[in-house]
Amino acid sequence: MSLLIDVHSHLDHPLLINKIDEIIQRAENAGLKHIITNGINPETNRICLELSKKYSIVKCGMGVYPRDALKKEAETGEAKLKVGDFNIDEEIEFIKKNRNNLVAISEVGLDFVNGESRQQIEDFGKMIWLAEELRKPIVVHSRKAELKCIEMLESSKNKNIVMHCFSGKKSLVKRIAGNGWLLTIPTVVVRSQQFQDIAKNVPISQLFCETDSPYLSPIKEQKNEPAFVAESYSMIAKLKGMDINEVANNIYMNWQRVFE
Ligand SMILES: [Zn+2]
């Protein structure tokens, strides 16, 4: 298989960055053409930019991820992430300066796992506006805040919206598809009814595949990496009764329409 795309990964992550040469090599061997690595704060935005300059297969997304949620994850997560405070408007200036090196505003959104947050809503509003101003697609995280994310995005003129790992209700999946936006099928689809339903019900012209590396591995004992994105393609082929190359070609056309 060739022409595969991993539309969402965190190659800067401490669990991946030390083995990055091997990981890129395995991705190329698996037929990947593009991998988006996305920043979530100033530090990771800069690492992702460097990675995209070093490896032609790697494309850069930059954004500001829900800040309080990230802090919580940094405290409790298995890999120690460094998350300092920063000024979002300064970071927006940095992103604007690098507009020609970016394929998307990503990863941004809302995460209300620990309750609603005004700062998150304010930050996300700025990211929606930034994507619109730069005319870039926006890749959205919406955990426990699915409806609020959709409502905020519906007020944007941007039509290139990708809902990443969407875990909301079926009615909201329909609403997203009805809006003409895209949804991702993460590799964890191998054991997730939610994503199997999305793969089955959403038209192929509105799907992307992703790993969310190093998270959501299809293989329980192993950290996720872009090479595993083939699992999502196989699952879509199986659920839609399509040839896997046809799936890859269609999703590649989605890439050209949304990201190029
Ligand atoms: Zn992510």
Burial 24-50 (b: 16+ CB within 10 A, else e): beebbebebebbbbbbbbbebbbbbbe
Report d(CA 180, CA 91) in Å as an integer.
30
Max CA distance (Å), the chain: 49
| Average pLDDT of the segment spanning 3-28 | 97
Ligand 1 centroid from CA 165, angstroms: 8
| Average pLDDT of the segment spanning 136-156 | 98
Contact 61, 21 (CB under 8 A): no
Q: What is the pLDDT of residue 78?
A: 65
pLDDT at 73 over 90: no
Q: Give the dihedral of Cα atoms 42, 68, 58, 25; nearest 10 deg.
A: 120
For residue 110, CA distances in Å to 15, 43, 144, 192, 249 come to 24, 20, 8, 22, 32
Ligand 1 centroid from CA 9, angstroms: 6
Ligand 1 centroid from CA 212, angstroms: 5
The identity of residue 150, as a single letter, is I
Strand, helix or coil for residue 109? strand
Domains of the chain: which residue ranges? 4-259
Ligand 1 centroid from CA 255, angstroms: 18
Which pLDDT tens digit goes with each residue over 214-249? 999 999 889 999 999 999 999 999 999 999 999 999
Q: What is the pLDDT of residue 224?
A: 97
Ligand 1 centroid from CA 164, angstroms: 8
In this structure, are strands 138-141 and 4-9 parallel, antiparallel, or unpaired? unpaired
pLDDT at 82 over 80: no
Residue 256: Cβ within 10 Å count: 8
| Average pLDDT of the segment spanning 162-176 | 98
Ligand 1 centroid from CA 225, angstroms: 12
- Model's pTM, two decimal places? 0.96
Ligand 1 centroid from CA 122, angstroms: 20
| Average pLDDT of the segment spanning 83-91 | 91
Q: What is the pLDDT of residue 74?
A: 81
| Average pLDDT of the segment spanning 49-72 | 95
Confidence of residue 84 (pLDDT cuts 50, 70, 90): confident
User: For 4-259, which CATH class?
Assistant: alpha beta
